[in-house]
Amino acid sequence: MRHVTAPRALAIAMAGVAAASFHPVPLLAQEETSVQPETVDPRWRATTIYFLLTDRFANGDPTNDRSVGREPKGGPLRSFEGGDLKGLTQMIEQGWFNDLGVDAIWTTPVIENVHGFVEEGEWGRTYAYHGYWPKDWTAVDPNLGTEGDFAAMVKAAHGKGLRVIVDVIANHAGPVTPHDPRWPETWVRRKPACDYQSYAGTVDCELSFTLQDMRTGSDAPVALPDFLIAKWRREGRLKRELAELDTFFARTGYPRAPKYYLIKWLTDWVRDYGIDGFRVDTAKHVDPELWGVLKKESAIALAEWRARNPDRIAGDRAFYMVGEVFNHGLLANGQSVGAAYDYGDRIVDFRDHGFDGTINMGFPAHLVMPLPALYRAFDAELATGAFAGRATLNYLASHDDMASYDRPRAKHLESAEALLLAPGGAQIYYGDEIARSLVIPGTKGDATLRSVFDWQKADTDAGRAMLQHWQKLGQFRKRHPAIGAGRHHELAFKPYTFARILNEAALTDKVVVAMTAGTTGPLTIRTGTVYPEGTLLRDSYSGEIARVLAGVVHIANPGRVVLLEAVE
């Protein structure tokens, strides 16, 4: 589904930083309060989100592994592998995500997908294990579990202080198979194929031969598909579903057009279970006006749920919506124009359509830059540049980015540092924390990015060592929103040392970080004027305690990184 033009972005970014000063930036009090109007909550801007393919993460109920006749007859890693909501809940309850310092869990779509398979050319036979081939937006996919399992997962996450973000789709329905009929022509278009040369060639078109493109730009009322009515009748919930639709359309006054059915169905997951946000799939392929309505209705739904569940997770954050917009991101990535996206004949700023932010699709390519230049450039973009006040998510790897960083995982320790200490939000892709390889022999296409989480590896000495590195970085990041949402100030270059300082929306926080990999013996770390003379600091990585004297601290046995925070 990609149309990649990242090299232009990287050239622009490198040209920009090449002219920048490489001297430490002085700390000025007024720099800490450059808050832009209508900024996104800094806790969302500094978030750490764990993204997992539910089918590939943990199997808690083997009895649902072959639901609705799905057999393991796909190409390598193209069938269902057994991961489910019960398995995810078990890992939540065991503290896996809390130990990583994760703020929120992002699951692939949980809605019911097509039951059959598709022959995807050279990629081979593929089932809808990934969740991106919808069949019924109102039900949980049977291979993942039940609505009760979903409710239990969300409740468990909230009980651990974790937000839940669900991947949602409005662009398309899943493919036609012998088990899955075509949607009516009033709902979907069959052509033309997208050519990505214009707005119409990206939005009003069929993204893939495997997908049925929804008519999200239409306001014409349509009847429900016969197959969906028949399905609901068999499942004994037709009367309830129709009554809920009547209530929704009576309240909102929206026409019964495809996009408004989709909005009703998607927001029901918020209203019924209290999920905290959406990650929006294929955002640029849908009429952007739909997303603004989805955000509005999601906020209403979450307020209703919170009123019924005052004892659940603190309702102190607005509903969060982040978009997947390929060829878009920081440092003029791809087709970015400032923070907007350029279709060629139309420029769209997704922030104007309900999004708190977008995924920074250029981060893997940005990592060729020296870390000081990268962090300096990101700080400028996020603090005073085009992306000021917006959320963003950096990532090393993802489920459909064949240009994911370090796919053999040869640089897994420094990758963790670069990601979790970067300005902006951070997306951990399942298995990053144990260096799950993204090069799987025998697979075709994006299946190589989607192997099953190796829990045995996580329990080896090597796995535990990698995991501990991620946990130390992640927990430090969790305690300190200044890392993702604060201003970046360089203090020294041998070793590279910087401060992050946040003073915004009643949040005040500051840290000092030194990148000490490759050094040996005791080190003197410059803290400048970040902490007053005599302040007692803890290196969160080594556990060592030191006092600020003359603007420095002395660390006797530093690890790969020094993570300094005030001792309370």
pLDDT band with cut points at 50, 70 and 90 for residue 23: very low
Active site residue 324: yes
What CA–CA distance (Å, rounded) separates 443 from 123?
A: 8
Question: For 410-465, what is each residue's pLDDT tens digit?
Answer: 999 999 999 999 999 999 999 999 999 999 999 999 999 999 999 999 999 999 99
Q: What integer is the mean pLDDT of 13-29?
A: 41
Which ranges of 384-460 would DSSP assign to H, the alpha helix?
412-420, 455-458
**Which among 300, 218, 225 has a CA at the least distance from the CA of 254?**
218
CB atoms within 10 A of CB 161: 13
φ/ψ of 422, rounded to 5, equals -80, 150
Closest residue by Cα to residue 375 from 432, 429, 418, 332: 418
Q: What is the pLDDT of residue 50?
A: 98
> How far lies 174's CA from each of 30, 169, 207, 225, 544, in Å?
52, 10, 12, 14, 54
Q: What is the pLDDT of residues 101-143, one digit of tens each?
A: 999 999 999 999 999 999 999 999 999 999 999 999 999 999 9
Q: Which residues contact 309 (CB under 8 A, 6 or more apart)?
A: 274
User: What pLDDT score does 568 carry?
Assistant: 84
Q: Tell me the pLDDT band of 505, cut-offs 50, 70 and 90.
A: confident
Cβ atoms of 274 and 309 closer than 8 Å: yes
Q: Phi/psi of residue 493, each to 5°?
A: -120, -5
pLDDT score for 208: 92
Residue 272 annotated as catalytic: no
d(CA 119, CA 127) in angstroms, rounded, equals: 9
For residue 13, pLDDT over 60 is answered with: no
- Over pLDDT 70: what percentage of the chain? 93
Using DSSP's 3-state secondary structure scheme, residue 79 falls into coil
Give me the residue label for tokens 């832009």. Answer: 36
Q: What's the DSSP call for residue 206?
A: B
The number of CA neighbours under 13 Å toward the Cβ of 202 is 25
Q: Given pLDDT bands bounded at 50, 70 and 90, which one contains residue 368? A: very high
Instruction: Give residue 18's pLDDT.
Output: 40
CA 151 – CA 154 distance, rounded (Å): 5
Strand blocks (E) in 108-162:
111-113, 118-119, 125-126, 134-140
User: For residues 359 and 392, what is the distance between their CA atoms, to the nearest angstrom?
Assistant: 5
Which pair of structure tokens corresponds to residue 25?
Answer: 């930036």
Report pLDDT for 5.
Answer: 42
Q: Which two tokens stand for residue 401?
A: 């980015």
Q: Each residue of 181-232: pLDDT tens digit?
A: 999 999 999 899 999 999 999 999 999 989 999 999 999 999 999 999 999 9
- The residue from 84, 167, 206, 281 that is catalytic is 281
- Per-residue confidence at 20, pLDDT binned at 50, 70, 90? very low
Please report, for residues 225, 495, 559, the alpha-carbon distance to residue 369 in angstroms, rounded to integers and kept in the order given.
Answer: 51, 17, 23
Q: Backbone phi, then psi, for 377, in 5-degree steps?
A: -65, -40
pLDDT tens digits, residue range 132-165? 999 999 999 999 999 999 999 999 999 999 999 9
pLDDT in tens, 178-188: 999 999 999 99
- pLDDT (average), residues 54-66: 98
Q: Please report the sign of the dihedral spanned by the C-alpha atoms of residue 37, residue 43, residue 44, residue 45.
A: positive
Q: What is the pLDDT of residues 302-326, one digit of tens each?
A: 999 999 999 998 878 999 999 999 9
Phi, psi of 194 (to 5 degrees): -65, 135
Instruction: Indicate whether 390 pLDDT > 50.
Output: yes
| Angstrom distance (rounded) from CA 366 to CA 435 | 20
> What is the pLDDT of the chain when averaged over all its residues?
93
- Provide the 3-class DSSP secondary structure of residue 89: helix
Average pLDDT estimate for 346-374: 97
Which of 84, 103, 180, 324 does the annotation list as catalytic? Answer: 324
- Whether residue 168 has pLDDT greater than 80: yes
Rounded mean pLDDT, 261-266: 98
